[in-house]
Amino acid sequence: MNLHRFPHFLLALTVLALGACASGSAIVTGNTRPPVALEQVKIYLEPPAAFEVIGLVSASSDAGWTEQGSVDYAIEELKKQAAKLGANGVLLVSSGEKTTTVVGGYGTGYVYAVPVTAKTVQGRAIFVKGP
């Protein structure tokens, strides 16, 4: 690696690290409830006995140092989105990944592209009735 390019490479890595985060969204399809604490939201792979669907939630993250770390951040964001709607559970619908490209080099004289893969999760925000 050419040493005079090294500071630009470090700058690019720093920007990517600072920009890495989890993001999420929610679509209300039922009746919302008062927000709940994040710790009250459980993830379900199978539908519980009795529940009401409040909405659809989705999240993605490229923030983890490992693939599992990125999934963990995405799940945490999924739970945050559900908690805002007053859901005490998320019925997991799907998980996957999406890849985007970050292009840098403005003002450096060099152009580089860095692929960024984010883990994605989608689910139904639900209110579980009973124990």
Percent of the chain with pLDDT over 90: 50
Q: Kindly report the average pLDDT of the chain as a whole number.
A: 81
Comparing 35 with 113, which gets the higher pLDDT?
Answer: 35
> Residues 58-81: what's their mean pLDDT?
87
Torsion angle of alpha carbons 113, 25, 68, 112, nearest 10°?
A: 0
> Residues 86-101: what's their mean pLDDT?
86
Q: How confident is the model at residue 113 (pLDDT cuts 50, 70, 90)?
A: confident
pLDDT, residue 131, reads: 67
Work out the angle at residue 65's Cα, subtended by the Cα atoms of residues 125 and 101, and round it to the nearest 5 degrees: 80
CB atoms under 10 Å from CB of 88, counted, come to 19
Sorted by where each begins, the domain ranges of the chain are 3-128
CATH topology of domain 3-128: Translation Initiation Factor IF3 (3.30.110)
pLDDT, residue 10, reads: 46
